């Protein structure tokens, strides 16, 4: 999410690193344009597959371990990872996941215990 602009310089963030932000900064620099400044924080989540076959997953987030939890994915997650890019710097979040049957839509209880993620301050 763009939150401003600054004079543009571009540098690669490290070996084997190629993020959308880095690529956009390189394009902006090559065109002599100001760079967009991004809130580049994300909580990257992964989990073990459910033993129940034919399921998708939902991810829920709260700001307290006891909840209340709100679903953060807009569509069913087919894989075993999710990146929450709507996090705010300096905030602590708690995550749980559920398995959802593809046929019938029955949803499991929340995973336990919740996973804590603290997003670095700006």
- Co-location of 65 and 31 in the same domain: no
What CATH number is given to the structural domain containing 83? 2.60.40.10
- Co-location of 101 and 87 in the same domain: yes
- Co-location of 66 and 25 in the same domain: no
Q: Which residue has the tokens 């993620």?
A: 117
Contact 58, 105 (CB under 8 A): no
User: pLDDT tens digit string along 86-115?
Assistant: 888 888 999 999 999 999 999 999 999 999
- Co-location of 100 and 114 in the same domain: yes
pTM (2 decimals)?
0.68
Where in the sequence is the domain holding 27, given as residue range(s)? 2-38
**Looking at the DSSP assignment, which residues form a beta bridge with residue 71?**
60
Q: What is the 3-state secondary structure (H, E, C) of the chain?
A: CEEEEECCCCCCCCCCCCCHHHHHHHHHHHCCCCEEEECCCCEEEECCCCCCCCEEEEEEEECCCCCCCEECCCCCECCCEEEECCCCCCCEEEEEEEEEECCCCCECCCCCCCEEEECCCC
User: pLDDT tens digit string along 37-72?
Assistant: 455 678 889 999 999 999 999 999 999 999 999 999
- Co-location of 30 and 78 in the same domain: no
Residue 32's pLDDT band, with cuts at 50, 70 and 90, is low
- Co-location of 9 and 61 in the same domain: no
- Co-location of 14 and 52 in the same domain: no
Is the CA virtual torsion 111, 114, 116, 117 positive or negative? positive
């Amino acid at each position: 999410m763009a939150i401003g602009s600054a004079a543009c310089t571009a540098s690669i963030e490290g070996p084997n690193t190629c993020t959308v932000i880095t690529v956009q900064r390189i394009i902006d620099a090559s065109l002599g344009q100001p760079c967009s400044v991004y809130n580049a924080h994300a909580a990257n989540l992964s989990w073990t597959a459910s033993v129940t076959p034919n399921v998708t997953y939902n991810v829920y987030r709260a700001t307290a371990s006891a909840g209340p939890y709100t679903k953060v994915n807009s569509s069913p997650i087919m894989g075993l990872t999710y990146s929450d890019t709507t996090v705010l710097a300096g905030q602590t979040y708690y995550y749980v996941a559920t398995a959802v049957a593809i046929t019938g839509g029955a949803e499991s209880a929340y995973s336990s215990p919740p996973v804590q993620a603290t997003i670095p301050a700006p």
